[in-house]
Amino acid sequence: MNDSRRLPAVTIIDVAREANVSRATASRALAGYGRISPATRDKVHAVAKELGYRPNSLARAMRAGRTATIGLIVTDVANPFFAQATKAVTSTASELGYEVLVADTNEDERAERRAIRVFIEKRVDGLIVVPAPARPHDGQLEPAQAASTPLVLLDRRRADHHGASVTSDDFRSAVDAVSLLVSNGHKRIAMIDGNWASPGFTSRRPRTLGSAATERIDGFREGLKRSGLSTRPGWMLYASGREPYAAQAAAASMLGQADRPTALITNNSDIALAVVTVCQKLGLEIGTDLSLITFDDASWAAAFSPPISAVARPVAEMGQAAVRELLAQIGGQAPSAPIVLANNLIDRRSVGAPGNLRAPG
């Protein structure tokens, strides 16, 4: 006769005892948060597998007064960078037993405040926020701070947030991009940013720019300065991020003149695509008549002819780091110092020696 009695389920206490660690350490190792040595984490996972431990995520969340959900607020989910970041955050959170609620603010600080309030009302355990451009100290993050909700900023920092953030080293990458162009003989170097909040484009620096855009622009200027160059009037333009053809209009105004730059840095792949479109209309060849480097290595950049040189940012690693930092805070740890990851400048055939500066066709 078969014995229908079941053995007691393996608990986290059993895993901790067998691994010779505390229950708290075993919990952090299995949940993937907190500062635990790789050796200890691997040991706890091996013991859990050997014992057949199966965590009850719902029960664990209820005991801790949590919902096992986090909120992710991005500024443009259709942007290739933020689409990849969203995928990295959701997949990492899922692996660690959390669901993700996503909100898209379309670079609107009012929509961001609303999304924060809604997520807090839904009792998310924490927030990952890509902050929309806004004036310093405008209280954009106050709802989260007032509720003491664990918070991590992704891709951009804010002066009124002294907690955790995960960004990439865009200032250094912009300096390096200018250096690459100068090493190829360029002295007529321009940049187009795509974060202006108003329609069209302007040559006047906007007062509200995100930290990532600011660091790229400042790095661009610093790179020119180190090479004994300066920004010419009309060669540093700010195009609207909300108007589809603003970047094309900015590129056309810059490249449609006889006195035009021989090299251009764009602040994201959408602007780079607009530049490519304008060059085709003007009969200018990328890599010959105009050297081009873009931030964000979109999937089309390597397939284009010639392939577009790009500053590839570690988007997956940034999303993963943001989730792990947030879960550490949810677990009771203090926010860490700002996390800044290195970028990779990929030199492709869109960068060459200056051409003959033939007039646009």
User: Are 72 and 88 in a shared domain?
Assistant: yes
User: Are 309 and 324 in a shared domain?
Assistant: no
- DSSP three-state, residue 325: helix
User: Are 41 and 80 in a shared domain?
Assistant: no
- Tell me, yes or no, if the pTM score tops 0.75: yes
Q: pLDDT digits over 103-157, tens only? A: 999 888 889 999 999 999 988 999 999 998 866 666 777 778 777 889 999 999 9
**Cα(294)–Cα(282) distance, integer angstroms:** 20
User: Are 74 and 95 in a shared domain?
Assistant: yes
Q: pLDDT digits over 246-279, tens only? A: 999 999 999 998 889 999 999 999 999 999 999 9
Answer whether 133's CB lies under 8 Å from 306's CB.
no
Q: Is residue 7 domain-resident?
A: no
Q: Is residue 250 domain-resident?
A: yes
User: Are 101 and 179 in a shared domain?
Assistant: no
Q: Is residue 248 domain-resident?
A: yes
User: Are 138 and 177 in a shared domain?
Assistant: no
User: Are 24 and 72 in a shared domain?
Assistant: no
Q: Is residue 360 domain-resident?
A: no
**Cα(69)–Cα(98) distance, integer angstroms:** 5
User: Are 49 and 102 in a shared domain?
Assistant: no
Report the C-alpha dihedral over residues 251, 255, 259, 265, rounded to 10 degrees.
Answer: 60
The tally of domains found in the chain comes to 3
Q: Is residue 356 domain-resident?
A: no
User: Are 74 and 44 in a shared domain?
Assistant: no
Query: Which domain covers residue 33, as residue numbers?
Result: 12-55
Question: Which token pair is 250?
Answer: 């900015």
Answer whether 115's CB lies under 8 Å from 140's CB.
no
User: Are 158 and 177 in a shared domain?
Assistant: no
Q: Is residue 158 domain-resident?
A: yes
Beta bridge partners of 236: 191
pLDDT value for 214 = 93
